[in-house]
Amino acid sequence: MQRRQFLHALGAAGIAGGLPLSALANLAAPAAGVSVEDLPPLEGELTLYLGRGEGGLYENVLAAIEKRNPKLKLGIRRGPTAALANAIVAEAAAGVRRADVFWAVDAGAVGMVTEAGLARELPADVSAQLKPGFQYPRWSPVTGRIRTLPYNLDRLGAEQLPDDIMAFAESDLRIGWAPAYASFQSFVTAMRLLEGEEATANWLRAVQRRATSFAGELGVVMAVERGEVDVGFANHYYTLRLRAGKPEARLGLAFTRDDAGCLVNASGIMALAEGDLSINFIRYLLTREVQSYLASEAYEIPLVEGIAPPEGLPPLDTISPPELNLTRLADMRPTLQLMRSVGVL
């Protein structure tokens, strides 16, 4: 079905989550997402569970949504993403629902709630705005972050870096990593799911012999920049931000291909309450204004089609992240056991 026909069918069936027809017409445009100007105002009470973890810019987005929608009474409960996911599941087991919407900073926690059958199915036009590979029926990725290989330009050329993450086990490069860091553990989880337990354990053991550990991934990237290590494993935004603060930094950014080394993880949002309000709230986060804001200010990767990535990052469709249902990253316990068993943690 063509996209235009599809939207027409949605409008006829009246299942587009309360969007006015003018907005549906705008959704038909393939370019750069829906504008906030085309969305209906948000009115009523809404309770958001917001996973803490980013540097405050989600709060700016929420404040802007509230300012634009004076009849919206937004209650926010903040906490670590995993703890909020647990709370939602526990509340449901107790027969109560306090959260109308859950915005998680990583997709792993999303899986816990969707698997419990607590998330509503999203209207198809919401998912259709997202890039291929990031369309899910019961939750929506908001923005993404990609695993990268920051490397020191004075010590290496990009051609000297393996494009296979597993090949780092045999390389003689000096590597920086942050095993205690949550994003690194999600990356190892992806490797475990894609390559298997034994291969992942062997990789961890081999890399550990040449790796220097850091507490966080900004520390990894700074060590690469100083030349203390040749290459690191880190989320993309640390390199972009360090370059922004230190334009002379001799930092390159490389990617592996089709493996856990270039995993794209995402923050995710889901509606738990019936009705249009929670769905339309999600639409606000997928507008081109919010997506562009998070790209330019937080260096996050927009996951709505047609929105430019943050400066310094190639378009997502030129990178080849692995095919992996991100909600499977919730399966963290075996990862931690594995990392402890090989002495990495």
Per CB under 8 A, 237 contacts other proteins = yes
- To other proteins, the closest distance from the beta carbon of 164 in angstroms equals 28
- To other proteins, the closest distance from the beta carbon of 58 in angstroms equals 9
Per CB under 8 A, 49 contacts other proteins = no
Shorter beta-carbon distance to other proteins: residue 36 or 206: 36
3-state secondary structure of 265: strand
Q: Which two tokens stand for residue 171?
A: 């390389």
Q: Which of 102, 151, 181, 233 binds other proteins (CB under 8 A)?
A: 181
Residues 259/168, Cβ–Cβ less than 8 Å? no
Residues 269/104, Cβ–Cβ less than 8 Å? yes
Per CB under 8 A, 229 contacts other proteins = no
Beta strands 264-271; 231-232: pairing state: unpaired
Shorter beta-carbon distance to other proteins: residue 178 or 204: 178
Q: Which of 123, 176, 219, 232 binds other proteins (CB under 8 A)?
A: 219
Q: Which of 61, 99, 142, 175 binds other proteins (CB under 8 A)?
A: 61
Per CB under 8 A, 218 contacts other proteins = yes
Per CB under 8 A, 245 contacts other proteins = yes
Residues 161/149, Cβ–Cβ less than 8 Å? yes
Q: Which two tokens stand for residue 76?
A: 């926010």
Q: What angle do CA 253, 298, 163 make, to 5 degrees?
A: 20
The partner residues of 12 in beta bridges, in order of sequence, read: none
Around Cβ 41, how many Cβ atoms within 10 Å?
10
Per CB under 8 A, 201 contacts other proteins = no
Pairwise CA distance, residues 77 & 207, whole Å? 40
Chain residues that interact with other proteins, rule: CB under 8 A: 36, 52-56, 59-61, 64-65, 68, 78-79, 180-181, 214-216, 218-219, 222, 237-238, 241-242, 244-246, 249, 289-290, 293, 296-297, 299
